[in-house]
Amino acid sequence: MEGIIQNPHSSVAFANRIRRRVLEMICRAKSSHIGSVFSVVDVLAVLYDQILRVDPVRPDWRDRDRFILSKGHACAGLYAALAERGFFPASWLEEFFADGGRLAGHATHWGVPGVEVSSGSLGHGLSLGCGMAVAGKHDGLGYRVFVLLSDGECDEGSTWEAALFAPHHGLDNLVAIVDYNKIQSFGRVADVLNLDPFAAKWESFGWSVCEIDGHDHAQIANSLRGIPRSSGRPTCIVAHTVKGKGVSFMEDKVLWHYRCPDAEERRLAFAELEGK
Amino acid sequence: MRGAFFRGLMDLAAQDDRVYLLVGDLGFGVVEPFMRKFPERFLNVGVAEQNMTGVAAGLALTGKIVFTYSIANFPILRCLEQIRNDVCYHRANVKIVSIGGGFSYGALGMSHHATEDLAILRALPELTVIAPGDPVEAEAATHAAASHDGPCYLRLGRAGEPMVHESKVEFQIGRAIRVRQGDALTLISTGAMLRTAVDVADRLAEKGTPVRVLSMHTIKPLDTDAVLAAAVETRAIVTIEEHSVAGGLGGAVAECLAESGELRVPFKRLGIPTSFSAPPGTQEYLREQCGLSVKSILGSLEPLLESVHASGFLIRPVVTT
């Protein structure tokens, strides 16, 4: 039993709804990072549809699972997932990037139920998650802490400070999910600052590591069920993903870290997403 | 001040099980009593200040009161963005403690001189910035910081700072403590310069020129009432800090005076020039090099006192609102 499960078979449809909402939000806002969002939509969908023990009616519930979007630039996906789960009305999504609106261009927790922490600068989320995981252990609460990181933010030294800390303190209630789409802001991860052998790095730091296809909902769900995977060790899920996943012309292209779809691209993207 | 801080912290931790202490692999010989008595609430995070600060914020967001502890610039500059984004933006109940404000670590050199911290941290929203003047204030400040709901920075000296207050003081965040009375001028001191400021005042009093001394232990929020009262009631204002003259106590007081309408008062900042100290030396030596000894300060005050005396009148303009 994984807590509050809505419908275990619905996460693919959930993901598709998020993608469509995100496309709408980003086009309306004339903003960027659509590729970075689509990369993690499937992980977000499985988390919010099947895994996280959260309650939209009590967003501050003491025993809730904590989810931290460390790659704060993918916040459109988080906002859409939260709206889908009923944390706030879907109409709020229209305020993304808007003057005086509720939803800032990087994840912000102020006044937004369900957003655990604000992020946007990379390399902060895993430490925050460690602190929450320590508190959960000390307080004897059963919650888990899930932190979603980008591969690019694994360039940050602070990520590895936290990566050393979590196993040392036996934080088996902590899960780091790395969105390994292999493209960072200036190009291929392998060309900018190579991370490979990536899973082996986490393993050598003492994490229980699992590599999955980050778009295969069954694999995502299986990897996130039964935490801890290994008693006394934090879990790292290396999710192999494709930047821009779901819209063929956006897939695996650094351009869609930045570009906002024009009217024709938007139409084509919607057509592809509607067909799924 | 270090001993006073730990006395305060031990009391707090005994009274409130939300109190945690995180150290960045420093505090050998002083943190052990806390570690032994409250092992569950003590974490040595290693030489990793960014993670220390993030972990502290994460803990605080679950309802804990978390002290982070290290020396000089390590718990503040290395992890400045974690302080800004994770602690301040979330109003996380984290108390950042730096031992070794100013030149406390003397001959250890530039890396160990915390001489711009007040200016840098004063600019951060939500952060209360406290630099107590002696061990009595340091212990009181530890309690005050813990009771304050929100982020605080505590800039402490090291060990062996002289006492100024003979007994417990009424310590309120944002309220300066008047340590000496007088109206020739006001010396506003922050942090461990308080003893020096008081010694200067006592010398002047002996010569028949009583001056006011304010311990401005809170840099933010600044006690602007005390500053403006000094501007009205005394003839000049001089700030004294073991910190760069840019942006710290002197800067904060200057901002207050500059925006005080028609109030005009002779004003001088004493502190560290905006350059690095070149040769090594003890704290005392380095202070002297920057004109922060009793003798040098008395020298710096002479022209100001002469003009105050020569003017022959008290500057008591009407405060406009």
Which pLDDT score, from 0 to 100, does residue B321 have? 42
Please indicate, yes or no, whether residues B199 and B294 belong to a single structural domain of this protein. Answer: yes
Instruction: Give the tens place of pLDDT for each residue, A154-182.
Output: 999 999 999 999 999 999 999 999 999 99
Which two three-digit tokens encode residue A250?
A: 């956006």
* Percent of chain A predicted with pLDDT > 90: 95
Please indicate, yes or no, whether residues B149 and B188 belong to a single structural domain of this protein. Answer: no
Q: Is residue B279 part of a domain?
A: yes
Q: Is residue B321 part of a domain?
A: no
Weakest-pLDDT range from A124-133, B42-51, B268-277: B268-277
Q: Does the pLDDT of residue A232 top 50, yes or no?
A: yes
Instruction: Give the tens place of pLDDT for each residue, A33-65.
Output: 999 999 999 999 999 999 999 999 999 999 999
**What is the number of CB-based contacts under 8 A between chain A and chain B?**
88
Instruction: Give the tens place of pLDDT for each residue, A176-223.
Output: 999 999 999 999 999 999 999 999 999 999 999 999 999 999 999 999
User: How far is Cα of residue A131 from the mean position of the Cα atoms in its chain?
Assistant: 19
Interatomic CA distance for residues B244 and B122, integer angstroms: 13
The active-site residue out of B40, B49, B161, B255 is B49
Q: Does the pLDDT of residue A7 top 80, yes or no?
A: no
The confidence band for A6, taking pLDDT boundaries of 50, 70 and 90, is: very low
Residue A180 DSSP one-character state: E
Choose among B46, B51, B64: nearest Cβ to A135: B64
Which pLDDT score, from 0 to 100, does residue B314 have? 47
Please indicate, yes or no, whether residues B101 and B191 belong to a single structural domain of this protein. Answer: no
The confidence band for B317, taking pLDDT boundaries of 50, 70 and 90, is: very low
> What does pLDDT average to over chain B?
95
Architecture in CATH for domain A11-274: 3-Layer(aba) Sandwich (3.40)
Please indicate, yes or no, whether residues B136 and B10 belong to a single structural domain of this protein. Answer: yes
Q: Does the pLDDT of residue B320 top 70, yes or no?
A: no
Please indicate, yes or no, whether residues B226 and B88 belong to a single structural domain of this protein. Answer: no
Contacts of residue A126 in chain B, CB cutoff 8 Å?
Answer: 54
Which pLDDT score, from 0 to 100, does residue A8 have? 47
**Cβ–Cβ below 8 Å for A128 and B89:** no
Contacts of residue B56 in chain A, CB cutoff 8 Å?
Answer: 131
Contacts of residue B74 in chain A, CB cutoff 8 Å?
Answer: none
The confidence band for A5, taking pLDDT boundaries of 50, 70 and 90, is: very low
Interatomic CA distance for residues B23 and A126, integer angstroms: 18
**Cβ–Cβ below 8 Å for A128 and B46:** no
**Cβ–Cβ below 8 Å for B61 and A162:** no
Mean pLDDT of A238-248: 98
Q: How many CA atoms lie within 13 A of B254 on its CB side?
A: 14
Q: B196-200, long-range: CB within 8 Å, 24+ apart, which pairs? A: B196/B240, B196/B287, B196/B292, B196/B293, B196/B294, B196/B297, B197/B240, B197/B297, B198/B164, B199/B294, B200/B294, B200/B297, B200/B298, B200/B301
Please indicate, yes or no, whether residues B148 and B34 belong to a single structural domain of this protein. Answer: yes
Kindly state whether B44 is in contact with chain A, defined as any CB-CB distance less than 8 angstroms. Answer: no
Residue A99 DSSP one-character state: T
Minimum Cα–Cα distance from A139: chain B residue: B62
Which two three-digit tokens encode residue A181?
A: 């789409």
Q: Is residue B98 part of a domain?
A: yes
For A76, list phi and psi in degrees, rounded to 5.
Answer: -55, -40
The answer to whether the complex's ipTM is over 0.90 is yes
Q: Is residue B54 part of a domain?
A: yes
Beta carbons of B133 and B157 less than 8 angstroms apart: no
Choose among A124, A130, A157: nearest Cβ to B85: A124
Q: Is residue B200 part of a domain?
A: yes
Q: Any catalytic annotation for residue B306?
A: no
**Per the omega criterion (within 30 degrees of 0), is the bond before A197 cis?**
yes
Which pLDDT score, from 0 to 100, does residue A10 have? 87
Q: Is residue B215 part of a domain?
A: yes
**In angstroms, what CA-CA distances link B52 with A68, A275, B93?**
18, 48, 14
Which pLDDT score, from 0 to 100, does residue A9 have? 63
Alpha-carbon distance B64 to nearest alpha carbon in chain A (angstroms): 8
Beta carbons of A241 and A45 less than 8 angstroms apart: no
Residue written as token pair 């718990």: B75
Beta carbons of A162 and B86 less than 8 angstroms apart: no
Interatomic CA distance for residues A88 and B296, integer angstroms: 63
Which two three-digit tokens encode residue B292?
A: 């922060």
Mean pLDDT of A68-76: 98
Q: Is residue B225 part of a domain?
A: yes
Optimal mutation site among B19, B23, B38, B62, interface A, most CBs of chain A within 10 A: B62
CA angle (A120 as vertex; A68, A205 as ends), nearest 5? 55
Kindly state whether B57 is in contact with chain A, defined as any CB-CB distance less than 8 angstroms. Answer: yes
Please indicate, yes or no, whether residues B302 and B187 belong to a single structural domain of this protein. Answer: yes
Please indicate, yes or no, whether residues B130 and B32 belong to a single structural domain of this protein. Answer: yes
Which pLDDT score, from 0 to 100, does residue B319 have? 44
**Backbone φ/ψ region at B220: left (φ over 0), alpha (ψ -120 to 50), beta:** beta
Domain termination site, one of B156, B189, B213: B156
Number of domains in chain B: 2
> What does pLDDT average to over chain A?
95
**Per the omega criterion (within 30 degrees of 0), is the bond before B39 cis?**
no
Residue written as token pair 């790395």: A178
The confidence band for A275, taking pLDDT boundaries of 50, 70 and 90, is: confident
User: How far is Cα of residue B206 from the mean position of the Cα atoms in its chain?
Assistant: 28
Q: Is residue B172 part of a domain?
A: no
Please indicate, yes or no, whether residues B141 and B9 belong to a single structural domain of this protein. Answer: yes
Q: What angle, rounded to 10 degrees, do the helices at B2-15 and B135-147 form?
A: 30
Alpha-carbon distance A162 to nearest alpha carbon in chain B (angstroms): 6
The confidence band for B270, taking pLDDT boundaries of 50, 70 and 90, is: very high
Please indicate, yes or no, whether residues B129 and B252 belong to a single structural domain of this protein. Answer: no
Q: Does the pLDDT of residue A1 top 90, yes or no?
A: no
Instruction: Give the tens place of pLDDT for each residue, B95-108.
Output: 999 999 999 999 99
Please indicate, yes or no, whether residues B218 and B145 belong to a single structural domain of this protein. Answer: no
Q: Does the pLDDT of residue B84 top 70, yes or no?
A: yes
3-state SS, one letter per residue, for chain B: CHHHHHHHHHHHHHHCCCEEEEECCCCCCCCHHHHHHCHHHEEECCCCHHHHHHHHHHHHCCCCEEEEEEECCCCCCCCHHHHHHHHHCCCCCEEEEEECEECCCHHHCHHHCECCHHHHHHCCCCCEEECCCCHHHHHHHHHHHHHCCCCEEEEECCCCCCCCCCCCCCCECCECEEEECCCCCEEEECHHHHHHHHHHHHHHHHCCCCCEEEECCEEECCCHHHHHHHHHHCCCEEEEEEEECCCCHHHHHHHHHHCCCCCCCCEEEEEECCCCCCCCCCHHHHHHHCCCCHHHHHHHHHHHHHHHHHHCCCCCCCCCC
Alpha-carbon distance B71 to nearest alpha carbon in chain A (angstroms): 19
The confidence band for B310, taking pLDDT boundaries of 50, 70 and 90, is: confident
Which pLDDT score, from 0 to 100, does residue B312 have? 59
Dihedral, B119, B123, B125, B127 alpha carbons, nearest 10 = 0
| A248: CB partners within 8 A, 6+ apart | A272
Minimum Cα–Cα distance from B57: chain A residue: A128
Interatomic CA distance for residues B43 and B31, integer angstroms: 11
Please indicate, yes or no, whether residues B239 and B147 belong to a single structural domain of this protein. Answer: no
Q: Which domain holds residue B112?
A: 2-156
Q: Does the pLDDT of residue B189 top 50, yes or no?
A: yes
The confidence band for A85, taking pLDDT boundaries of 50, 70 and 90, is: very high
For chain A, give every domain's residue range. 11-274
Kindly state whether B82 is in contact with chain A, defined as any CB-CB distance less than 8 angstroms. Answer: yes
Choose among B40, B43, B54: nearest Cβ to A124: B54
Beta carbons of B214 and B226 less than 8 angstroms apart: yes
Nearest to B181 by CA among B201, B200, B162: B201
Contacts of residue A135 in chain B, CB cutoff 8 Å?
Answer: 58-59, 62-64
**Cβ–Cβ below 8 Å for A117 and B54:** no
Interatomic CA distance for residues A85 and B53, integer angstroms: 32
